[in-house]
């Protein structure tokens, strides 16, 4: 990890100071009585993960039992009907006890991270001021970035996360203005009330493409149009990015994201049908990745999307959802175009395959490809090889069933099956084979079938007596059966993988 920049250090310190002043200043310091709300979420996690092979020699990641926690404080202060401040800070965030991975942590952030002492981690995530004017809303400061279902831009709040946890979050220093441009023309009762136009300018604090604290400087211009109603939400989002990495490499590109969500009530059966979709196209160029066909850098063209449909029978507490997702791969890693697309790491699909196994295999692959004893000098872009738990170069089907027999009790059961879009190839073994794709077990041709898993969860929420104070406890379990992509020369796919996750949240 690069040494934090002075600008980043000053920014973190100033955010902490301003947050304390805004929240803890006595009421008499202002000419009116502020309305203060405190959001507190303490989470504690216990994990068990069985061993799985991560390379052709049969080595295992070596992280079986470990625990994480996070204390998140999210205060907001409303000084009037038009003026509001908000902030968010994380303390003690990350792995705090148990085993850490024995390999694969040189470039990866997840699973585990041997580069940071999480128990001393203070992470000021947000601090912004919001003003509601007569023609629109202006928000300025450091804030999370979220759009649609979160497969491209995800703030890491994890409000809709069913499996696992959100760990990261896209954070930007942003100036954002949102307005309803058709309202003056169509009036209060017309469609103009439902259409929101937003424009903004960002300095990216951190996301899955870079970090200001690591010396990466990324500037974004964004525009979105969103239609909002009780039953339908949808629109488009465009982000133009100009980034310079700490070593001088560049990334210039545009993301086009279309999102829609609808719910159709079925009053006759006391339920509803829901649909949701998000599609992304990334287009641009970068010198971060260099190939034989493009020694100065490559063009970028990635595609990803999610389609979701569900039936909810509220009278009996039953829900059925089917999800399909796609993140493009690259069939030719030596040409002039990189076609790989990765979901945001905080969009979780299942418990094991993407979140654990592929994260571990790709982390070790990056460590091997960057080993100076093997390759002499680490190739450009090797730090982008770890998936960090994201869906990448894959397509999948993921039907789930949920059942809530009691108001505060929720149970889920899911079945995930996934395939790789382009060859599931190990970069170092492919390099040794003269560019012919080899799996991480050394097999040619690599099979596209990644495997399947069954996931189950139970969650219960109970009040703790005080207003808004509640305890949420849950247990999640997954069982993954490796597909043919994991076979070695003897046809052995390695052990099936199990994961148990004990979840505890205290929320106020």
Contact predicate 416/349, CB 8 Å: yes
pLDDT tens-digit map of 67-122: 888 899 999 999 888 899 999 999 887 777 788 887 766 777 766 554 444 445 78
Q: Which residues contact 468 (CB under 8 A, 6 or more apart)?
A: 507, 508
Closest CA to 155 of 74, 233, 225: 74
Q: How many domains does the chain have?
A: 1
Q: What average pLDDT does range 278-294 have in this prediction?
A: 91
Residue 46 lies in a domain: yes
pLDDT tens-digit map of 426-435: 888 887 888 8
What's the CA gap between 141 and 174, in Å, rounded?
A: 6
What's the CA gap between 427 and 380, in Å, rounded?
A: 12
Phi and psi torsions of 490, nearest 5°: -95, 5
| Max Cα distance, the chain (Å) | 77
pLDDT tens-digit map of 327-367: 999 988 888 999 999 999 999 999 999 999 999 999 888 88
Q: What is the DSSP string of 271-308?
A: EEEEEEEEEEEEEEEESSS--SS-TT-EEEEEEEEEEE
What's the CA gap between 44 and 70, in Å, rounded?
A: 7
Distances (CA, A) of 131 to 78, 83, 173, 174: 10, 5, 16, 14
Instruction: Give, for 195, the enclosing helix (H) or strand (E).
Output: strand 195-207
Residue 54 lies in a domain: yes
Residue 289 lies in a domain: yes
Helices (H), 397-486: 427-432
Contact predicate 95/109, CB 8 Å: no
What's the CA gap between 98 and 118, in Å, rounded?
A: 13
Structural domain containing residue 68: 6-507
**pTM for this predicted structure:** 0.88
- Tokens read off for 102: 């024995």
What's the CA gap between 316 and 386, in Å, rounded?
A: 43
Residue 1 lies in a domain: no
Domain of 197, CATH number, reads: 2.40.160.100
Closest CA to 44 of 109, 117, 94, 89: 94
pLDDT tens-digit map of 217-264: 999 999 999 999 989 999 999 999 999 999 899 999 999 999 999 999
pLDDT tens-digit map of 423-475: 888 888 887 888 888 888 888 888 999 999 999 999 999 887 777 889 999 99
Tally of CB atoms within 10 A around 152: 30
Closest CA to 88 of 132, 141, 138: 141
């Amino acid at each position: 990890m690069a040494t934090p920049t002075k600008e980043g250090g000053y920014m973190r310190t100033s955010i902490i100071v301003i947050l304390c002043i805004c929240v803890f200043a006595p009421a008499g310091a202002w000419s009116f009585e502020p309305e203060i709300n405190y959001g507190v979420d303490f989470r504690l996690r216990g994990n068990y993960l069985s061993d799985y092979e991560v390379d052709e020699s049969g080595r295992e990641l070596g992280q079986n039992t470990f625990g994480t926690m996070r204390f998140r404080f999210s205060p907001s202060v409303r000084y009037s009907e038009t003026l509001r401040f908000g902030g968010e800070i994380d303390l003690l965030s990350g792995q705090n006890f148990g085993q850490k991975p024995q390999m694969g942590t040189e470039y990866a952030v997840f699973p585990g991270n041997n580069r940071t002492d999480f128990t001393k981690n203070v992470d000021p995530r947000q601090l912004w001021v919001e003003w509601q004017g007569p023609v629109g809303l202006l928000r300025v400061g450091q804030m999370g970035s979220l759009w649609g279902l979160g497969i491209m831009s995800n703030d890491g709040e994890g409000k809709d996360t069913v499996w696992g946890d959100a760990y990261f979050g896209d954070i930007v220093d942003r100036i954002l203005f949102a307005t309803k441009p058709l309202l003056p023309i169509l009036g209060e009762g017309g469609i103009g009330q439902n259409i929101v136009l937003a424009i903004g300018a960002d300095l990216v604090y951190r996301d899955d493409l870079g970090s200001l604290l690591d010396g990466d400087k990324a500037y974004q211009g964004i525009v979105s149009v969103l239609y909002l109603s009780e039953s339908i939400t949808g629109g488009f989002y465009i982000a133009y990015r100009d980034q310079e990495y700490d070593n001088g490499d560049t990334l210039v590109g545009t993301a086009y994201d279309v999102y829609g969500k609808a719910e159709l009530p079925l009053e006759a059966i006391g339920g509803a049908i829901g649909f949701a979709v998000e599609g992304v196209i990334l287009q641009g160029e970068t010198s971060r990745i260099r190939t034989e066909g493009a020694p100065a850098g490559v063009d970028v063209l990635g595609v990803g999307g999610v389609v979701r449909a569900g039936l909810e029978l509220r009278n009996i507490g039953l829900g059925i959802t089917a999800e399909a997702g796609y993140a493009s791969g690259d069939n030719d890693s030596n040409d002039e175009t990189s076609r790989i697309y990765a979901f945001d790491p905080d969009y979780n699909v299942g418990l094991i395959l993407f979140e654990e196994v592929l994260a571990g295999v790709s982390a070790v692959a990056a460590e091997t490809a960057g080993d100076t004893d093997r390759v002499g000098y680490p190739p450009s872009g090797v730090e982008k090889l770890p998936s960090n738990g994201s869906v990448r170069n894959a397509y999948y089907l993921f039907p789930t069933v949920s059942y809530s027999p009691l108001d505060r009790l929720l149970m889920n059961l899911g079945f995930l099956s996934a395939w790789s879009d382009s060859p599931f190839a190990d970069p170092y073994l492919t390099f040794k084979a003269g560019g012919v794709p080899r799996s991480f077990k050394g097999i040619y041709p690599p099979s596209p079938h990644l495997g399947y898993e069954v996931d189950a969860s139970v969650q219960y929420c109970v009040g703790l007596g005080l207003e808004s104070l509640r305890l949420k406890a849950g247990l999640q379990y997954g069982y993954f059966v490796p597909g043919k992509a994991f076979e070695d020369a003897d046809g052995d796919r390695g052990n099936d993988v199990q994961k148990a996750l004990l979840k505890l949240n205290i929320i106020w």
